[in-house]
Structure 1
Amino acid sequence: MPLIPTVGQKSISMRFIIGAIYLILTLGAITMVYPLLVTVTAAMSNAYDYEEFNVFPAYVLNREERYKKFLIEKYFDRPFNLFASNYDLPSEWNAYWDFRQRENVMQNQLSIYGTEGAKGEQLKTIAADYDAFMKQFSPEWQIVLFQRLSQPAQRDFLRQRYDSRVTGNLHGKEQEAAALDIMAEDTGEGKFTSFEYITYDVEKNFPFHAQRWFPEDVVRYHNYIDFVKSLPSTWKMPQTAKYLWLTYLLDSGKSIDQLNAGWGTNYESIYSVPFPLKPPVDAEFRQMWTEYVRERWPLRLIELPPGEGGGVSQLYQSPVRIHLWGCCPDSRVCA
């Protein structure tokens, strides 16, 4: 039996009440559409546009927005100076967010390897050349990017590697436990309870997280190197001397104005200071370069010229006569 009898529904006042109920319900349904669309959009967002709360994301129809979103995905979990070492950035850019509201950045600033102007077959050729370069470049000198994607990929790599060595008809948790037992025996480390808890937080900074660090001939290190080899070239970039140099300058605590005053130079920002392959002429600039070579450049990547002799002691007596090797001075030159 209806709450409102059929006879009662014919009155003007009751029809008004029913109409008001329908209107309220309709408005309530409409108000739920917006948060639903925002939720769907947020599910496809990353650090670039997560806080924008757009019903229709701009990157869907805007190629430049997609490009900037891609760059954030690629570099965001790495220091900004790694990003800056690959691009000629304006002096006022000091963080990833500085290019969010800029227009025409693809043509004006974010140009790497010259690919932004290339089309079709040219772009395919450039990509193939870069892929060939990265395959012959030692994985020990490669930086893994796309951390949000590469970390799960690392766990899957280890899981597949050790699952393949499990014998017997095991499944699920038993299979995983047996694989973890094999890995613990291989590495000589404690046993993990799940592959999901394994990270390469130290290894991903190889080989430059400590000046005098030398890779140990251990299973864990070889697992990481094999994982890096398995990644597509587009997920990696070479270590560059410019990246390490920018890190050193930023750690010095000096502003670009202070550096320019001491060096007699006119650089617009720290990110525009190139890495000198030879000792600078200016005395103060030369002193910083020498300190960088002595204290910050990994000793395992230093080689004295033929006939110098003297080993490491000679390095500290005459540090400006060394030859730096093992990584590219600039990623654009390497590629």
Structure 2
Amino acid sequence: MSLVGRVGRKRPRARVAMAGLYLILTLGAITTIYPFLLMISTGLKGPTDQNDTRLVPTYLQKDAELLDKYVDDKYAGDKSLIASTRQGGSPAEVEKYDAFLKTLPIDFWEVGFRIAPGQVTSRLTDLYRTWLRSRYENIDALNRAYVEENVAFQTVVPPSEMFARKVWRPTPGRKYEEWRSFKAGLPTTFRIPITERLLFQKWAMGKYQNQFGEVPLDVKGTATRFEELQVPASGPVLDEFRKQEPDRFRSDAGEAKWAAFGGIGPMPVAPHEAAYVAAHASELRNEFAGRNYRYVLDYILINGRAVANTVLFCVLAILTQLTVNPLAAYALSRYPVRQSGAILIFLLATMAFPAEVAMIPAFLLLKDLGLLNTFAALVLPSAASGYMIFLLKGFFDSLPQELFEAGSLDGAKESTMMFRIALPLSRPVLGYLALVAFMGAYGAFIYAFLVAQDQRIWTLMVWIYQLQNNAPKSVMMAALTLAALPTLIVFLLAQRVIMRGIVLPGER
């Protein structure tokens, strides 16, 4: 029955009130939807734009933003390295520079797209792990070959190279040998030539402790920061640098090889990158947009028991709560006692306290019973719910008593009347309570982590909680988005059940 009749709705006051009500509901919907959309959007971003609150990432719309994101990704967020490579170069030399990179010896260029500080994945690691999967049947075969203990291919990282050091020797073994084979096959966009100018800038930063004002004037020249320094032609600073410079780069670094190749002027690094981004804009946008979500899916696959544990936990929670609570509610409804009112007040009182209040007592009790690190510890404390018992009792009370009287006359037992009369008529409410049980079990992570610290029975939410210790904001938003999908799908598919479970008891 409507609160306002058809005639009353035509009055100006009623129309204004209804318009205000719809406005409030619309604003409420927006405030609910916007954070979720922002969470999805942040999952599409990376270290350079994860704090941007715009719903549509700018790199999906603007080519300039895409280029900046690509450059930051290539140089792993190293601002000094990025600035050092922005030294000009003619766009007409791009094709020649691309051919030059293909001929550059493997020890004279570094690999780009490594994992940036604070990040957990990169374009290089994804490509490297895919390459390893094509060579090894499983992770055990790779571990035997590399003498490592990787849990999965997703945990294998490329070996580091430190060509800028005076003396550096790679760790001998099959891993580095195969890494060189992989490195040799990388496209030119991954190749960052090692230049004497860059080596000098890095050395100067260390020598003068990033204090540009300490650099001698004859070394500064017209430079205003370390990234603009040029290698001096002579002097004590150059002599000191030569002592620390790797021998192979002393007269044969990137600049010398570029000149010998026939290059004119500085290497056109920036024009080469701009040309690549322009030619592969769609591919790069897709790669950036899906990177965090792919990493989270790989993370879930590594911890594959998390999905199975979560499904089992949810199923057990639903079954136990739909067994214990209807039995208790039916008993209170069919066999009222003098203390029924006090019992209902006690049940309602349990709803006045947050669940966190009972966590420590439940933990101590489960510890005394020896049930920690078991599914029983996850399921049993939530088997009985004061809210569910109260709701079901009210629904059972509203059922026509004539049905039970007819059942008694036909000789039906109480259990028969419960399972053949009461529960079938209560399916809308039971469906609603099953959804409540599912959402409670699926979203639990503090309690699940407290009573089950054994990783073998960790649920999905506990693993995602652990992920935040290492993952940046953008990856966490991607993880939370994927974690929210099951609840969202269940809610969308079960809207009718939810509404019937809420409305039907009131109508009766």
Alignment of 1:1-335 (within 5 A): 1-2=1-2, 4=4, 6=6, 9=9, 14-32=14-32, 34-35=34-35, 38-59=38-59, 62-75=62-75, 77-88=76-87, 111=88, 113-115=89-91, 126-147=93-114, 148-163=122-137, 179-187=138-146, 189-200=147-158, 203-208=159-164, 210-215=165-170, 217-253=172-208, 255-261=211-217, 263=219, 265-276=221-232, 280=234, 286-294=235-243, 296-299=244-247, 301=248, 324-325=251-252, 327-328=254-255, 333=266
What secondary structure, in the 3-state scheme, does the structure 2 residue paired with 1:324 have?
Answer: coil
TM-score, normalising length from structure 1? 0.63
Mapped contact 1:256–1:267 kept (Cα < 8 A): no
Mapped contact 1:46–1:73 kept (Cα < 8 A): no
Distance change (3 Å), C-alpha of 1:180 and 1:263: closer
Tell me the alpha carbon deviations over residues 87-125 of structure 1, each in whole angstroms, 9 at most, x when there is no partner: 24xxxxxxxxxxxxxxxxxxxxxx4x323xxxxxx5xxx
Mapped contact 1:143–1:236 kept (Cα < 8 A): yes
Tell me the alpha carbon deviations over residues 54-76 of structure 1, each in whole angstroms, 9 at most, x when there is no partner: 2455555544333333322322x
The match for 1:320 is none
Tell me the alpha carbon deviations over residues 272-327 of structure 1, each in whole angstroms, 9 at most, x when there is no partner: 22124x5x0xxxxx222222222x2224x27xxxxxxxxxxxxxxxxxxxx53354
Cα distance in 1 for partners of 2:126, 2:105 equals: 23
Question: CA shift at 1:151, angstroms?
Answer: 1.6
Structure 2 counterpart of 1:324, one-letter code: S
Mapped contact 1:250–1:270 kept (Cα < 8 A): yes
Mapped contact 2:136–2:142 kept (Cα < 8 A): yes
TM-score, normalising length from structure 2? 0.44
Cα distance in 1 for partners of 2:212, 2:256 equals: 21
Question: CA shift at 1:16, angstroms?
Answer: 4.4
Where structure 2 has 5 or more consecutive residues not aligned to the other structure, the ranges are: 115-121, 259-264, 269-508
What secondary structure, in the 3-state scheme, does the structure 1 residue paired with 2:86 have?
Answer: coil
Tell me the alpha carbon deviations over residues 226-285 of structure 1, each in whole angstroms, 9 at most, x when there is no partner: 222232211222111111111100001264443234658453332222124x5x0xxxxx
Cα distance in 2 for partners of 1:264, 1:25 equals: 64
Tell me the alpha carbon deviations over residues 202-231 of structure 1, each in whole angstroms, 9 at most, x when there is no partner: x333433x4212345521111221222232
Once structures 1 and 2 are overlaid, which stretch shifts more, 241-250 or 60-69?
A: 60-69
Once structures 1 and 2 are overlaid, which stretch shifts more, 191-200 or 62-71?
A: 62-71
CA RMSD of aligned residues (A): 3.3
